[in-house]
Structure 1
Amino acid sequence: MTPQPGSGVVRAEATGQAAPAVDRALVDAVRPLLEANGAPGHLDRAAFDAALAVAVEQAVRASGAILGSHTFAQVCRAVRDELVGAGPLQPLLDDPLVTDVLVNGPREVWVERAGRLTRTRVDLGTVQDVRALAVRLAGAGGQRLDDASPTVDARLPDGTRLHAVLPPVAPRCPLLSLRVVRSRAFTLDELVAAGTLAPGVVAVLRALLVARANLLVSGATGSGKTTLLASLLSAVPHDERLVVIEEAEEIAPAHPHVVRLLARRANVDGAGQVELADLVRQALRMRPDRLVLGECRGAEVREVMAALNTGHEGGCATVHANAAADVPARLEALAALAGLGRDAVAAQAASAFDAVLHMRRERDGMRRLAEIAMVDRAPDGALRVAVAVTVDGDRAVPGPAWAALAARVGLRTAAGAA
């Protein structure tokens, strides 16, 4: 794997990285050669890789190094990662078992793999190298990250979600959090095989889809809300039109008719902002069979509830909540941002949403559908979420609101029954 001694092209691998660490001088030499061979921004992946190989070969030849075919391919990949990827972090992001990459310092890189956090041996160099990587990734996501704007949320070109914080907000070193967004939606049966769904709840979920029930998927960050929602939407009949509204493109159902609307932040002059609430109103004019909001996190909840109260069935949204029973308090807090009082929220939500699907992240790292609950109003008029199905291991246990759920979707057998 090592080229001729003293070449300066590749540093010996001593950090446990999946690829050799490329000398900065080589990257700097490749960049102008690559631009001379064709503007990278205007090339597709195959054309870019071809132009990159030519540029790397020219730069290596100029340095006097001799590389074997295997090492040359590794160097090309490492240079590509430095130019348009996440540098030394890219092999971690490419690991299909990795969901999160967390950088706490140059030699403090952690990954969540298969639901568990583990520390890697990746060495990012110096604190300044970490800062340069964070700034470059933010720029790739179209966001600004500097002393005047020391925090950023961005979406990288491959869909990876980036959150970065610079000193002095992060006292010792820039902090990076990268969440991998997988492009393939799982089927409901695959979620059963993975342990996310108990076998007995699949029939209930399919019945909710057939009955065009309006669903609210709740759970904590990283509990699998988006994964479940994408799987549910993949099971929607293919002759229906899905209009999906998100802050950033995450939901990727395996469905032939999906159109997307993405929110847009204001530019440096404070103009051009398009909020989720605006997009919900626009979506109503786009003939949606099912209206989908990726996440309710603010005043847009008012527009969603209003939309689902105007004859639009089969809609879906997600919301952060600790448990299904906590959803009313969460909706009230969000709706208060839109000026709605408690009574108005209860009236709107009870009519807008049929069921809550609550996801929970267990201590073993698994994400599981823990509860299915029905939304209605209590005798005192307050918004109520009553549990219809509780998942206990692999068993789906009927709860107090099972009869209401069965009546809504036309099920005759209890949850979990054959």
Structure 2
Amino acid sequence: MRTCDDALLADVRARLATVPAGAADLTDVVRDAVRRRGVVLGSHALERLVHDVRDATYGAGPLQTLLDEPGVTDVLVNGPRDVWIDRGDGLEPVPIDLGTDDDVRALAVHLAAAEGQRLDDASPVVDARLPDGTRLHAVVAPVCPRGAIVSLRVLRPGSLPYTELVEAGMLPPGSSDLLPALVTSRANVVVAGATGSGKTTLLAALLALVPADERIVVVEEARELVPTHPHVLHLLARRPNVEGRGEVTLADLVRATLRMRPDRIVLGECRGAEVRELLTALNTGHDGGWATLHANSAADVPARLAALGALAGLAPEAVAAQAAAALDAVVHVRRTAGHRHVAEVGIVALDAGQLVVTPALTWDGHGAPRRGPGWERLVDRLGEGP
């Protein structure tokens, strides 16, 4: 028994289900399961088998090796022999054989079940998180022609020092002092950008600059923000189980932070109706807050906020008024040819009743900083020139 077959996995999982989580040593369980089959393995073979069983039981099975590879941000499965990864420079195929279409479907179902989600003909689309925080999106027939399509987004908690981001060129000329000034002045800031543009990495580095005597409460769907700071509390949302119960939303958690004596409220990603609770919190004396938001540019942030506000039942006028009073600045980050960098810093304001983000600092094609019409207002907010 040198392969991790279905029967062995079923035996191991049945044994693990009878003991409290973490109470059994996986190596001992696998060794006992193999011995019951009359097979004796050497130490190296047993170690490899335990590794495969661990990946199949707690990880992403045959895809776990790809997820563990340094630099990999995405693993995409289009079919049994149609697998792609992104190491930050674009998609590239990988030579891996996942068996049959049915095997791919079974893998997708197993990954969804690990997070208590249902994936079958009646519920053919799922969004979930693996135990290690990896984002899972999967669809099965009849949504796709056969088997399953699986998309995995690797989440690597970012805690790079701010100085390293400066050295790596993520902070262009003129911004390396400006962004820490936003932290020091307790501005309320949105970090905007596309998926994979470096929003979380930048925000984690900036939160590490918060004074050590301040209490930071971070609300997220999965733990991504891990700033190097002595007083950080993490609140994680919970999806409903297969019976539709037990859900704890981001909006619930943002409301909870208000009773936790926070010095800084941070929303890891604003993506839904929780925008109402965020704007309310930042409008009631809780300054120094930060949030990330998906947007194509700083100028698109007002439209994104209006769209999210609509999910919470807020009229565009209400969102504009709340956001203009709550938010001070937008930092937009972008990934260009694999290089992540700050592309713009803007100031948030109302213009004829419309929410706008006015450019305060941008950079030309040669990387030279250019002060925009919002520069003076930003300097006034910071209290002194950065």
TM-score, normalized by the shorter chain, greater than 0.5: yes
- Corresponding residue for residue 385 of structure 1: 357
- Corresponding residue for residue 247 of structure 2: 273
Q: Structure 1 residues 127 and 387, CA, compared in 2 at 3 Å: closer, same or farther?
A: same
Query: In the alignment, does 2:2 pair up with 1:28?
Result: no
What percent identity do the matched residue pairs reach?
Answer: 56
- Measured in 1, the distance between the counterparts of 2:316 and 2:140 equals 39
1:170-319 alignment runs, 5 A limit: 170-319=144-293
- Corresponding residue for residue 58 of structure 1: 35
Deviation (angstroms), 1:252 = 2.2
- Measured in 2, the distance between the counterparts of 1:317 and 1:128 equals 41
1:367-386 alignment runs, 5 A limit: 367-378=340-351, 380-386=352-358
- Measured in 1, the distance between the counterparts of 2:177 and 2:294 equals 25
Q: Structure 1 residues 122 and 56, CA, compared in 2 at 3 Å: closer, same or farther?
A: farther
SS in structure 1 at match of 2:112:
helix
8 Å CA contact 2:194, 2:334 repeated in 1: yes
Deviation (angstroms), 1:375 = 0.5
Greater Rg by CA: 1
Deviation (angstroms), 1:339 = 3.1
- Measured in 1, the distance between the counterparts of 2:334 and 2:200 equals 12
**Deviations for 1:55-109, whole angstroms, at most 9, x for unmatched residues?**
47637x8347x65x54543333223212222111111111121111111100111
Deviates further, 292-301 or 260-269:
260-269
SS in structure 1 at match of 2:120:
coil
Aligned-partner residue type, residue 28 of structure 2: A
- Corresponding residue for residue 321 of structure 2: 347
Match of 1:85 among 48, 51, 59: 59
Unaligned 5+ segments in structure 1 are 1-7, 10-21, 414-418
8 Å CA contact 1:191, 1:197 repeated in 2: yes
Q: Structure 1 residues 37 and 395, CA, compared in 2 at 3 Å: closer, same or farther?
A: same
- Measured in 1, the distance between the counterparts of 2:262 and 2:304 equals 26
SS in structure 1 at match of 2:76:
strand
- Measured in 1, the distance between the counterparts of 2:108 and 2:102 equals 10
Q: Structure 1 residues 384 and 184, CA, compared in 2 at 3 Å: closer, same or farther?
A: closer
Deviation (angstroms), 1:165 = 0.7
Q: Structure 1 residues 272 and 31, CA, compared in 2 at 3 Å: closer, same or farther?
A: closer
- Measured in 2, the distance between the counterparts of 1:142 and 1:340 equals 32
Give the TM-score normalised by the residue count of structure 1: 0.84
Aligned-partner residue type, residue 186 of structure 2: R
Deviates further, 380-389 or 255-264:
255-264
Aligned-partner residue type, residue 285 of structure 1: R
SS in structure 1 at match of 2:174:
helix
- Measured in 2, the distance between the counterparts of 1:37 and 1:143 equals 20
Deviation (angstroms), 1:395 = 4.1
Unaligned 5+ segments in structure 2 are none
Match of 1:407 among 376, 380, 386: 380
Aligned-partner residue type, residue 213 of structure 2: D
8 Å CA contact 1:184, 1:254 repeated in 2: no
Deviation (angstroms), 1:123 = 0.8
- Corresponding residue for residue 125 of structure 1: 99
1:155-166 alignment runs, 5 A limit: 155-166=129-140
8 Å CA contact 1:243, 1:260 repeated in 2: yes
- Measured in 1, the distance between the counterparts of 2:15 and 2:242 equals 31
